[in-house]
Amino acid sequence: MKMFPRFYGMLLAAGLSAPLCAQDLHFAQFEFAPVLLNPGQTGNFQGTYRLSGIYRDQAASPSGFTGDFKTPYLTIDVNFGFAFRKKDWTSLGIGFFDDRSGEIQLGRGGFMASGAYHFALGGGDLALGVQYGSISLDTKNPEKAKFYDQLATGSSSSPDLMKLQQGKGSYNDLSAGLVLSKPLAAKMHQLRIGVGVNHLNKPAVGIQGTGSGTKLGMLINAHAHLRYHLNEKLDLVPGFYFRTMEDNRETIGQCMASYLFDIEKKIRLNAGLGMRFGDALQFMAGMDYGKIKAQIAYEQTIGDLSDAKDPSGFGALEIGFSYTGAITKKPNPKPKVFCPRF
């Protein structure tokens, strides 16, 4: 089983001009990476700041995480009172990620800074967001790669290996998005729909250096969620994602149930199912505890690509969390001295 990721990394690196980012970051739980999906979701929460993150292992096993196919992502976004109209607000955020594959740890990492302006609309808002990313490409363990000429001659060196060891590329990425959030039916239900476009500048991606490689096409992300308040204890949250980039398309449907377990401690138990149509089944479970939300997801590839996408044969595991905080100003009233009349 170890030969597959080794040759996979070898094939990508041999030409040194192949698009290493042909597959953008994807998760089963985009709610823990909202700004990555659409920069219009920067600051789209009730509070002052939000810290969220997710870790995905594509080659997990029943014994735990393997680390060969991993993607950690961490972001923080903050809301500010600056605005051109009453009830509007502005948001800024920054995120970091490191996406790695195989024994040679081929991949990319970097940061993405985002900003959004929220136009207040009758209890909801319309947010316009933009994002700038600075991303580098390299291999962490190039010495573990084995090329055909090494296998044929038994040599420990190879011209391709030298290129792989020296190769490093980088590119800048621009994104933009719109998100509409609106309460429905006397604010009992919450609707959120949006569309984002990544790779607006169509950057050239390759490991030979900045500006080398193949140009990325624009990636369009459309998404929608409805939080339906079924009764005092139970909420249903159906969600839909559609992503398209040139000839590649991805459609995801999910439905979560959220049960209010303890109203005083603000504990909600969450569970649900999803499907990346034609590709994978998804199972999610977690809980809310006050301002903290944590959840785990398991994704099992179905169909003919299960062996290729799940090298361990077990599937992918994800762990996500978020914390939403609020900073309130303490009142500082001026003291008043009362002089009683004698």
pLDDT at 244 over 70: yes
Q: Where are the domains of the chain?
A: 3-325
**In the numeric block, which tokens belong to residue 238?**
């159906």
End-to-end CA separation in angstroms for the chain: 95
- Tell me the two tokens of residue 329: 């100003």
Reported as a single tens digit per residue, the pLDDT across 99-140 is 888 777 778 889 999 999 999 998 899 999 999 999 988 776
Report which of 49, 118, 55 is spatially closest to residue 82, judged by C-alpha positions.
118
Confidence (pLDDT) at 168: 75
Lowest-pLDDT choice from 171-185, 271-285, 321-335: 321-335
Angle at which helix 159-166 crosses helix 3-15, to 10 degrees, equals 80
C-alpha Rg value of the chain to the nearest Å: 23
User: Which homologous superfamily does the CATH classification assign to the domain defined by 3-325?
Assistant: monomeric porin ompg (2.40.160.40)
Q: What gap in Å lies between CA 299 and CA 132, rounded to an integer?
A: 30
- High-pLDDT (> 70) share of the chain, %: 74
Encode pLDDT of 283-297 as tens digits: 999 999 999 999 999
Token pair, residue 223, equals 């998404």
Q: Does residue 147 sit in helix, strand or coil? A: coil
For residue 23, what are its two tokens?
Answer: 């597959």
Higher per-residue confidence, 150 vs 227: 227
- pLDDT-based confidence at 159, cuts 50/70/90? low
Question: Amino acid identity of 315?
Answer: G
